[in-house]
Structure 1
Amino acid sequence: APLMMFFRAESILSWGEFVKVNRASDDDPDDNAAGVANDMDVLAIAPDGQSTAARVKFDLDLPSAAADDRPLGPGIRLPEWDFRRHALLPEHCALQTLVATPAEPYVPPTALRTTARRVRRRLEILRAGTGRQRAQPEGDEIDLDAWVRHRVDAAGAPHSESPAVFTRRVRTERSLATLLLADLSLSTDAYATQTARVIDVIRDALYVFGEALSASGDPFEMLGFSSVRRQNVRIQHLKGFDEPWSAAVRDRVGAIKPGYYTRMGAAIRLATLRLGERPERQRLMLILTDGKPNDLDVYEGRYGLEDTRHAVQAAREAGLIPFCITIDEAAHGYLPMLFGQQGYALVHRPQDLVDRLTGVYTRFMRQSSH
C-alpha cells in the first residue's frame, strides 16, 4: 500500500508538469471576455486542450467567513484604475465591512500595557503643550526677527511706544482626525521575529495606538483590510470615529486574524470616503502593511501598484494626508512610486513598529496645532 500511494502521488506530479492551465479572468484585455469564468470563480484545467467534456474544474469560491464575523451594512462598490486602458473602471470592486464578535476578552501582555502607558503619557504631555505667538506687543521673550524688522522700519519713521517684538506663550489647539488602515493579508501569518508573527506585531501597534489616542482626545478610526479578487474586498471594522475606545473595541483588535490578499487601492478609496466626511482641518490616513499590493487576479504586479498610486493621489487631491508605514525590507523598490519619498516610513525591526507609528503620529499632531 505505501508503494502504491507513492506511485499515485508521483503520477499526479508528473501529469501536473504537462497540464495546460487556463487562468480565465474578465480582467484580461479582451473585448470578448464577457463569458469567461465570471471573475475566475472557476479554474479550468484541460490537458492537451481537450474539449469541455474532459475538463476538470476546481471551485475557487471565497473560503467560508470566520464564524465570529458579521456584515456591517449592505456593502459598497468602488472604482478601480486600469492603467492599460488609462481609465477608472466604475463600481469595479465590491467591499463588505465586517465586524467580529470575539469569543473571549483581549488581555494584552504586561510589557505591552507598560508600553501603552508610556506612549499615552507622551501624547498627554503634547496635548497639554503650549505654542508661541510671534510679533506680539508684549510677552515673555524677545522675537529677534520682529526686533530686526522694527529697527529697520524705525530708521525712517517715529518709534512706536509698544513695538510688536515679543513672543507670547499660548495654549495650542489641534484639528486632526486619523484613520488607520491595517493590512490583514495572508502574509501577516508569517513570523516577523523568532517569537511573534507579523499579525501579532500589527495587533500590538493597534492596541498601543488606541490607548495613546484615547488620551489625546483626537478622533480616530481603525479598519483592517484583505481581499480575494475584486468582488471580495473585506474591510474589518475595529473602531469607528463615533465609538469610544472601549473594552469591546480592544477585544476586536485582539481578535484580528490573517486574511487573504492585499487590494490596497480599494481600501484606500474607502478610507478616503470616510475621512472626507470629517470636519477637522488635518485628516491623516495611516496605512500599516508588510508588503506590496497583490491579489489572485491581474492585481498582482504593475496593475496593483498603478491602482494604489492612483488611489493615493486621489486621497491627496481630496485634501487628505496618506502615509504608509511598512516592515517590508523591499519597500524602497515600490513605495516611493506609491506614496512619494516623504510619504512612507520603513521599520527595519518589526518590534519597533509601535514606536515608529507613534513618532509619525506625533509629527502630524504638532503640525495640526495652531
Structure 2
Amino acid sequence: MGERLSFYLSLGLFSSFGVDSGTRMLMKTLAQQNAVPEKGSVLDTGCGTGVIAVSLKKKFPKLDVTASDRNALALRFTSMNAELNGIDKNGFQTASGLLPGSLKRPVDCAPEKWDLIISNIPAKAGKPVIKDFLQNCGHHLADGGKVAVVIVQPLADFAENCLSESGAAITHKEADKQYSVYHFKPGKAAGVSTFASVYERTDDKITGFYGLPEFDSLSYRSQVTLEILNGYHCGGKTLLWNPGIGHIPAACSYADELITAGEDLLQLKASDFNAAAGYPHHHLPVFRDLSSVIKDELDYIVAVPDFITGAAVEEEVLSTSLNLLKSRGKLLASGKSSDIARIEKSRKGYILKHSVKYRGFRALLLEKQ
C-alpha cells in the first residue's frame, strides 16, 4: 500500500517466516479496488500478527481500526507491531474475539459495528463457523458496510456457495492457485445465535467444538494429564493453563475454586461451556502474565503449555508457578516427553511426586518445597 513497514513474527503464530501470500493478495485488492474508506471504522478479524490492521492504520491514519483474534499471543504481537511502526494508539485497538457471525457480541470492544470487516479466514475454524461468518457478518456492519476476505483455494467453492445462498452481492473476486479473494455486501443475516449453536461439533458428555481438537477422542497428552489428576486430586484453589475443551476441568471436581487461563479465547469459552460452572478465566498471551492477574496463592496448577522452538517455556512455567504456589503446592505439567524432560531437569525449588509416560507424551507432578 505504498508504505515500508516492519513486523515482528512468532513461531507460535501463523506465517512465522514472512507475510503470507494470501494476506498480500487481499491487501493488493483492497488498494486496487479503493475498498478502504479514508475515514470510518475497520475490523481485522483473525488479525494474527497485525499485518493488515497496522498497514491500514499507517496508510489511513484517520481510520478507527480494531484488530481482533482469539489468540492472546496474536494480540500481543499486533500491539508490538503497531508500536514498531509508529502507529498512534488513538484510533487503533486490539480486542479478544471470534469471527463475527451470528454471535451477539463476538468481539470484546466498542464499536460493535464497522464500515469494513476484513479477514484472512483461518481454515482451521471449521466450515460451519466459516459459513456463519460469511452469511451473518452483516449483523456487525454499519449501514452500507462491506466485507473483504481471503480464503485458501480448497475452501473457495464452499465460501462462494455460502455467499450465494445468503444473497450476498460479490463486488470483486480474484483467485490464484492458492487463494481466492472476495469483496462483498452481505445478504440478509439470520437471527442472533448462541455460542454453542455456532461452534458445537458433538453432543456428548463433553461437547466438541469446531476449531479445537479432541472432538472425538482424547489426545495422548490429555490422557497422561488425566491419569495424574485421577490419582492426585487437585484441591483448594486450582489454576488450569490451556484447559482444552473441558476434559481437564471435569477432572478437577475436588477443587474448591477453579480458574482457567490461556492464549486461546475459543478454548476458554469451550471449557467453560462444558463445565457449566461460570468460573473466571483470563485471556493471556504467555504463562508469566499470570503473575499480574493472580493475587492469592494457589494450591494446584495444571499447565498444558505450548512449547515453542527457541522460547524458554519450561523456565517460564517453573519460575512463575514457584511464585504463585503455596508451600507444598503442586504443579502438573504435560507435553511431549522431550519438553517435559527439560522441566524435570530444571526443577529447582520442587520435588518430584509422580510421572506418567504414554506414546511420546509425559505428565509430571511436582511439589513446591
TM-score (normalised: structure 1): 0.33
Point out the structure with max Rg over C-alpha: 1
Structure with more contact order per residue of length (Cα contacts < 8 Å, sep ≥ 6)? 1
